[in-house]
Amino acid sequence: MNSSSPPSDGKLKAMILHKLAKKRKWGESHTALETTSKGVPSHLRGKMKELTEELVRDGFITPKPTGYGTHISLSVSRSEEIKAIIKEYLRIEL
């Protein structure tokens, strides 16, 4: 039996931001909204979508409506904050 607790919302947000930063999705370079929940366990997918939408509301992620769905990218103006969040929760320097 796995006794580890689920990751905090802060850590999951950092994972979302890191995934986009790793793919260099800043500013005009965007990717499908669904990308953030790919590769995560199925029981976390709904939470990842919810947290991605929260990051959009908070201005860390910029939405781009397209004819084939919503695309997203990291906000260039919040890049230092995004890097700090990733460093704090994931211990990864960008």
Give the residue from 79, 76, 74, 31 showing the smallest Cα distance to 55.
Answer: 74
Mean pLDDT, rounded, for 32-58: 93
- Give me Rg for the CA atoms of the chain: 13
Q: In the chain, where are the structural domains located?
A: 9-90
Q: How much is the pLDDT for 94?
A: 85
The CATH class given to the 9-90 domain equals mainly alpha
Phi and psi of 85, rounded to 5°?
-65, -45
Could you report the per-residue pLDDT of 1-16, keeping only the tens digit for each?
A: 455 788 999 999 999 9
